[in-house]
Amino acid sequence: MTTALAGTLVRSDLQHPLITKVYRGKVRDVYTLADGRILLVASDRISAFDVVLPRGIPHKGQVLSQLSWHMLQATRHVAPNWAIAQPDPNVVIGHACATVKVEMVVRGFLAGHAWRTYAEGKRILCGAPMPDGMKENDRFPQPIITPSTKADAGHDEDITPEEILARGLCTPEEWDTMCRYALALFGEGTRLAQERGLLLVDTKYEFGRAPDGRILLIDEVHTPDSSRYFYAEGYAERQAKGERQKQLSKEFVREWLIAGGFMGKEGQQVPPMDDAFVQSVTDRYVELYERITAERFAPAPTDDINARVQKAVASYLG
């Protein structure tokens, strides 16, 4: 298992002649390269309710980066993606794309935001109909797409396909392509999860425009930060009894924050993150990695992660 409370990478600081720009997101540091590629460093930062929490999670960046790389390779045959190479466990290098500011959320089950909307009596979410007579965590007859705007700051917002096109966020042809890719990716992600005893509940996909105009899958895919999974074993029994589903995702972090009185609203304070909780988050991430990949997680050295990443990147870029 992982070494308890190993060092973390909360901010990378890479130097190379090819680097022209740096953007730091909630979790990833994005380096633009002069040759038309980008370099994504998955940090150990963790966010919830659009707030970066005060402590890094050991090995989280490595888990996210390696799991995303694994899934990008495993789904390449159903949708083209941006990834080119992984020179370090925390790094993926790929094609620079202009982000389409629409998040393609695909839902196979009535959970999370969909359930909260449903419980309010609504049967349409982002233009997608939801059948009557469903219970929380029931499987939809067919997966639905419930897009949201890709906000530059603050919370993303629900949006309908009609609003997406009216606002010019993408062309009708791009929308059709993203829908086709999103459903194909969700289908393949569902199949891969089932092989490992999991149910892919919902996830989000992001797409970008390559310089040649192609739509490519970008960012991460089927990770615990972007996806929700249920354990397949016992799912039907728990549903029949009205019990909560066992899940493997980042939702437990949100639940912990809510229990501590934090939902990202003004004036609220993040509860203290003690060592035991931080270690439990690492353990959850590692468990999902091992369940999905069928490989044992091998922690990379953590004594100076930035120096390790810098050396690997410099060697790869030359």
Q: Tell me: the pLDDT tens digits for 264-293?
A: 898 999 999 999 999 999 998 998 899 889
When the pLDDT of each residue in the chain is averaged and rounded to a whole number, the result is 93
Range name among 1-5, 94-98, 211-215 with the lowest pLDDT average: 1-5
Q: pTM higher than 0.75, yes or no?
A: yes
More confident position, 305 or 226: 305
Over the stretch 99-127, which tens digit does the pLDDT of each residue have? Answer: 999 999 999 999 999 999 999 999 999 99
Q: What structural domains and CATH numbers belong to the chain? A: 19-97+272-317 (3.30.200.20), 99-249 (3.30.470.20)
pLDDT bucket at 150, cuts 50 / 70 / 90 = low
Report how far residue 147's alpha carbon sits from residue 242's, in angstroms, rounded to the nearest whole number: 29
pLDDT at site 248:
80
pLDDT at 22 over 70: yes
pLDDT bucket at 3, cuts 50 / 70 / 90 = very low
Over the stretch 126-139, which tens digit does the pLDDT of each residue have? Answer: 999 999 999 999 99
Give the whole-number percent of the chain exceeding pLDDT 70: 97
Contacts for 41 with CB less than 8 Å, ≥ 6 apart: 9, 12, 14, 28, 29, 30, 31, 61, 90, 91, 309
Over the stretch 23-51, which tens digit does the pLDDT of each residue have? Answer: 999 999 999 999 999 999 999 999 988 89
